[in-house]
Amino acid sequence: MGTHAVDHDLERLAAQARSALVREIERSGAWDTDPVWREAFEAVPRHLFVPYYYVGVVGGFERLWGEERDPRRRERWVRGAYADAPLATRVRDGELISSSSQPSLMAKMLAELEVEDGHRVLEIGAGTGYNAALLAHRLGDDLVTTVDLDADITEAARTHLRAAGYHPTVVTGDGARGVPERAPYDRIIATCTLRSIPRAWLAQCAPGGRVLTPMATGLLALRVMDDEHAEGRFLHTAAFFVPLRGGGEPEGMQPHLGGLPRQARDHDLFRFLLTLTAGSLDPHEALALWQREGMPSRERYGITVSGDRAWAWLDDPEGPYAWPLP
């Protein structure tokens, strides 16, 4: 079979797999609040952003890539590229440093970002460039900026974006510091998890802007009042991302869980509370609170930033349950 026929078959398979993915995201309800995102997921070819990725195998990782000679492995690669699953795209010394997020979670986050035509968006964590392409498809290249600390990641993202026909601004730098030269932004979205809210983001966000970021195994939606004040609640959705790397983000603390009942230790919502309050709430105190308050779901928690203070809270920013953030 000639190269042209192989390429044609691959594109046909990719189109079929992309349509199936869009139907799966549709069924999940991820973009129910903003169905315009369906068009972006129908148009942007995810396989161009993951020319190779890693799948876990016994003893490590196996790499799948689009240049496989074996047609069955090429088919496995392209079908995997359109699975509704996260894909490991960068592994260094056995540690995952970058990934392409689960598409339905990406769709949920983009819908929750509440973008409107003309909005300027900053993405923290360029990844493969796929999320920036979805944003650029919706808003236009000139309104989208994405930043990542790793030059290899940003160079690869630029290459993938060009191949797919998109040209947003891709910056190599510390995401915790934002990209001030492209500010102000109406929306900031992070694809890496945080322990604190970088004040630079608030300074670069227009008043009334929205920040959506993973934090403590959840998704936090903040409304920015000005460069020193922001407040918002967590969504109900669980979310697990690689940590933000850079000078502005403190290391997370791992609480000692000895003596806690296994049922609590393994419960998703209790682990969320422990992660959110690490360093400021003893795990045994956290368990007592969690049980007393009826195992509260994520959307009962929120974050407030006011000047040089930031704190997490349950139900009420000025209520009895509040914990300082770094």
Q: Which residues are catalytic?
A: 98
Q: Which residue is it, tokens 């997490």? A: 312
Q: What tokens appear for 55 in the block? A: 């799948």
Which residue type occupies 153?
I
What is the DSSP secondary structure assignment for residue 170, as one 8-state letter? E
Instruction: Report whether 278 contacts 259 (CB < 8 A).
Output: no
Pinpoint the alpha helices (H) of the chain. Answer: 3-28, 37-43, 71-81, 103-113, 130-139, 151-164, 199-204, 262-265, 268-276, 283-292
CB 185 within 8 A of CB 176: no
- Residue owning tokens 């991302």: 241
**What is the rounded distance in angstroms from the CA atom of residue 133 to the CA atom of residue 318?**
40
